[in-house]
Amino acid sequence: MSFKRLAGAGEFGGMGREAGLLTTAREQIRTRHMSYRTEKTYLHWMHRFILFHERRHPRDLGPAAVEQFLSYLAVERKVGYRGGTGPDD
């Protein structure tokens, strides 16, 4: 499943009556004049969250789903939190 397909068609809207979740997020990010890298990063993580939960819409998931996803990243994928903004933080 490609990112572009998920962002613009099918279950998540687009191509019709209402914009999809990722399309709406992209528009909001651009409205706030965030950097392109920030946009790409936010959309990437939203995409991974949706795929992790078998393409279920986040509005149908609760706080436990976020905790489950973060636990998966920390334990299985060994992704750690990185705070700060610079390379030495």
pTM above 0.85, yes or no: no
pLDDT confidence of residue 26: 95
Residue 82 included in any domain: no
Residue 84 included in any domain: no
- When divided into structural domains, the chain yields a total of 1
d(CA 49, CA 36): 20
Give the confidence band of 82 by pLDDT, cuts at 50, 70, 90. confident
Residue 38 included in any domain: yes
Average pLDDT, the chain: 80
Other C-beta atoms closer than 10 Å to the C-beta of 66 total: 13
Domain with residue 61: its CATH number is 1.10.150.130
Residue 86 included in any domain: no
Q: What is the dihedral of CA 47, 50, 52, 56, to 10 degrees?
A: -160
Q: Is the pLDDT of residue 88 over 70?
A: no
Residue 60 included in any domain: yes
The parent domain of residue 66 ranges over: 3-75
Give the confidence band of 84 by pLDDT, cuts at 50, 70, 90. low
Q: Is the pLDDT of residue 38 over 90?
A: yes
